[in-house]
A and B are shown apart, each in its own frame.
Chain A
């Protein structure tokens, strides 16, 4: 293949040795930063055999953590998907002033440290704050409880789905929706039969990314969770606690679960991109 490129564009490619060096550098960078860390997670998890790894995952703390993380993701991800769809619809189907500013606000969580996000939630909902104090007094604590963890997760994953959908919907324009309207279709039907089929892959990818981040979020959750073992300790928090207690196999076994999720996310992404490439060619 590289010979072909060379023949077709003799003037505009680097000399073969330079190319080899650059490709080598790319592999070296990723080996050092991506492949080695992944390998070490699985190696440490299996350091005392698969049985020990599985046993550690069955411990009460690990099971509680897995359950909590799944619960949080099951709430936060659909909520963010609904938000992402609504925001993308609002931003791409209507014209109004201040659109760029609104997009900036939606992107804001990208430039705020997760720890600062957690801090913000503590200042709003903590027992010392007006609103937080009232909520605690009425028996609905947010901080050091599930709602706080969900809110922190919502904050850090906020732009994910909207970011994936907006470019796709801008590219597809409004004509198909308008055509459906002229044919007599109502709003929900237009969305369900025309918009959704066109954005489903982008939606799926956005949901996957949001899910990976929701299950893996550490900084923001660490601040608001209170790290109560078996109650408010998510998988990443439990990994930290186990690691600090030198329970290496347990920590890395949980880490291996999250790594597998990350790998699955990337696999699906790669498959989706290949599907998309084939479609645009066809």
Chain B
């Protein structure tokens, strides 16, 4: 018989699973991010600010976050609509539509980039139509916006859809028996229930769009100050061996992203508290 041991749990594999988890997390994620933070610490706040406050950098950061925010906002609307249609209606082709929503997750960004460019360039089928109206999509900020919408499309839909499926019909029926119109029910009863999940999707789409590179660079045109996104500027600085400049932009992106995600989290906590856990 063994000596009495102090176990916290009889479940096997504590040491092994904890060891693998923490080791991998440290090696793959924390050490590299730590290297970036360390680089920033070595540079100091003044050098960081000097690197970030260059006009070209500010323009790129502004463009990235502005377009990512617009794209995520449009996705908030379109994604909720898609989720509603997929969860509530039965129609021919629903399964196809349901599977297609996930394609931007599965399709490599470089493939999406060249495909969107082929479609929306002035010589492409959609670009030609736009050109007929005197509009240009590819190689403008409109093209970047389109690519960011593409990569963010599934996030809101996939966050909201399960929530819609779980809403009890009786809640809506109650609203109807109380004399509310359908529109009132949707805006006053349904939307508040969907909002936390929709915001989660919005945050994910935003984070993804801010950092997106592959699908954007082909369609963007990449003109400094006009259509040059922040990740591309990092790549350019690295190719010029300006590690400090690249690190400064990278840190600025991380800091702004986290500040935005924190703000979204606070809104979420606020809306959850208001309506309780749904």
Contacts and interface: CB of A to CB of B under 8 A. Distances in A.
Instruction: Indicate the size class of the contact surface on chain B.
Output: 35 or more
A270 B124 CA distance: 32
> Which secondary structure dominates where chain A touches chain B?
helix
B62 interface: no
Contacts of A270: 95, 98-99
A183 B84 CA distance: 47
A129 interface: yes
A123 B39 contact: yes
Main secondary structure of the interface of B (DSSP, over half): helix
Contacts of A181: 10-12
Interface residues of A, number: 101
B45 interface: no
Interface stretch (A53-61, A88-96, A133-141, A196-204): A88-96
A145 interface: no
Interface in B192-215: 204, 207-208, 210-214
Given A12-B176, A83-B24, A128-B243, A37 B35 contact: no
A37 B103 CA distance: 10
B99 to A, nearest CB: 5
Interface string A218-252: 11001100000000000111011001000000011
Interface string B149-163: 110010000000000
A122 B243 contact: yes
B111 A222 contact: no
A30 B100 contact: yes
B89 A90 contact: no
Interface in B6-47: 8-14, 16-21, 24-25, 28-36, 38-39
A124 interface: yes
A33 B79 CA distance: 13
Nearest to B176: A11
Nearest to A43: B118
A113 B111 contact: no
B273 interface: no
Contact of A255 (B104, B114, B150, B213): B114
A95 B9 CA distance: 9
Interface in A43-86: 44, 79, 82-83, 86
Nearest to B83: A26
Interface of B: 8-14, 16-21, 24-25, 28-36, 38-39, 78, 81-82, 84-86, 88-91, 93, 95, 97-112, 114-116, 118-119, 124-126, 149-150, 153, 169, 172-173, 176-177, 182, 185, 204, 207-208, 210-214, 218, 231-232, 234-235, 238, 243, 246-247, 250, 253-254, 257-258, 261
**Lowest 4 CB-CB distances: which A-B pairs, in order?**
A113-B211, A216-B108, A187-B12, A218-B214
